[in-house]
Amino acid sequence: MEVNISQANRQLSGLLKRVAAGDEVVITKRGKPVARIEPVYTWAKGRLLGSAKGEFVVPEDFNDPLPKEIEDLFWK
């Protein structure tokens, strides 16, 4: 949703309710975006510790030293 600065000033409380519900609000000045209001915790939704269990296996040699030819690429 886009609103101009004047609308944002008048409707801030209502805009924040929409943002809390998951919407994103872009505030414009003379038709150009100047700010975005978005929910703070949207990145955490749907992420659950251990949710990828069984989808991959860490190889036995995970902590082994790198082969010499690859290691040399880091020390040039």
For residue 36, list its beta bridge partners. Answer: 26
Please give the class, per CATH, of domain 1-40. alpha beta
Tens-digit pLDDT profile for residues 33-69: 999 999 886 555 666 778 788 888 889 999 999 899 9
Transcribe 1-56 into DSSP letters: -EEEHHHHHHHHHHHHHHHHTT--EEEEETTEEEEEE--TTGGGTT--TTTTTTS-
* pLDDT above 90: percentage of residues in the chain: 57
Asked whether the beta carbons of 37 and 19 are under 8 A apart, the reply is yes
Domain ranges for the chain: 1-40
Structure confidence at residue 10 (pLDDT): 95
Q: What is the DSSP letter of 71?
A: H
Tens-digit pLDDT profile for residues 2-26: 999 999 999 999 999 999 888 999 9
